Amino acid sequence: MANKLVAHMGLAQSIANRLAARNIRTAKDALSLPEFDLMTLLGVDIKDVKEAVARISEVACPPYQTALSLLEERLMNDTSGSRLPTSLTGLDDALGGGIPFGVLTELVGPSGIGKSQFCLKLSLLAALPASYGGLDGRVIYIDTESKFSSRRMIEIGRNSFPKIFHSEGMAQEMAGRIIVLRQTSLSEITESLQQMKLKLLQHEVKLLVIDSMAALISGEKGSSSSSMSGSHPPKCPFSFLKSIAEFSRIPIVVTNQVRGHNNEEISRYSFLGKDTDRSVEKFETHHVAALGIQWAHAVTIRLIFEAHSGQKFIKVAKSPLSPPLAFPFTVSSSGVTLLSDDGIEMIGQEIGMIRCQGHCILNV
């Protein structure tokens, strides 16, 4: 805001010319000087200076919003299709309608837990006609591990949306809306996204998936264990991906892997809170997200996929709208399915821990 040019602020031309002649070009330059100093520099009346300062302040300062106006704006956005429903009722309710547009959503969990299955279903939902609850758009699916399965995607579609997928030619049409890119380096992805930034809007792309970001970065760094260090996280295009999301106003979903680490690391994630009522058992290692704390703060939504006590769970570990909740799920022929729409509330370190064993690591 401070670097906005005063020449573009609608000032009287005589005032604008005088400011430019004295090298006062930005709002910061103008507002850093007392009004009497400006009057002397510009050689104008104090009334003209006050009017100019008021105009510059009005343009440069962000407008305030009340809590009521923010709520009304959110409700308006929700009704105008600002989310991609997952078709999982409990999860959609917790997220305010589904995966939000314009931000990064992270899916983190061990290999084989169901993250890619979740992404395939989301891709179908983004491509489906609006009359079937979809977004009627295209999808860009960046497959960094060559795991994308068209056959599995069609199977999920036929079992989830039998009316449309059993219609002649519709399966091929839906599959044709999902563009799969198999790229293995950050530079390739960055270059591709820069080239297609405008095309995201022109070609009605409604979803971008990167599966997986952790595999991409580990490959870039030679897959060494040091490249996944929590204290020295690998370089990742956080700001670039966020800018793509904000510019295109589409959901960006990125998958993340897990790694073992000691129990103390979880305490560094400040947004997870502290556990005062429960104690963590002294295990030497547990699983945490492979990408470091910098990435954790870059995402707006974090969904953790974990398994313990013979059951798989999707945990809403980070969301501006939802308390931390866990939903039991299974993976079937129709993709990821919730076993219950009632979320189990979590507290403390339980929120961020990723369990892959057959036991719970927290005691009541």
Do 352 and 299 meet the contact criterion of CB atoms below 8 Å apart? no
Residue 339 has pLDDT above 80, yes or no: yes
Residue 1 has pLDDT above 80, yes or no: no
The DSSP code for 5 is B
The DSSP code for 345 is E
Domain extents for the chain? 6-60, 72-363
Per residue in 202-244, pLDDT (tens digit) is 678 899 999 877 766 665 555 444 444 444 444 456 677 888 8
Can you tell me the distance from the alpha carbon of 206 to that of 250, in angstroms, rounded to the nearest whole number? 6
Confidence of residue 363 (pLDDT cuts 50, 70, 90): very low
Confidence of residue 82 (pLDDT cuts 50, 70, 90): confident
CA distances from 253 to 101, 106, 206, 260, 318 (A): 10, 6, 11, 23, 14
pLDDT > 90 in the chain, percent: 38
Do 6 and 21 meet the contact criterion of CB atoms below 8 Å apart? no
Query: CB-based burial of residue 14 (10 Å sphere; 0-12 exposed, 13-18 middle, 19+ buried)?
Result: exposed
For domain 6-60, say whether CATH 1.10.10 is its number: no
Residue with tokens 């959110």: 74
Architecture of domain 72-363: 3-Layer(aba) Sandwich (3.40)
pTM (whole model) above 0.75: no
- 3-class SS at 48? helix
Residue with tokens 């470091």: 292
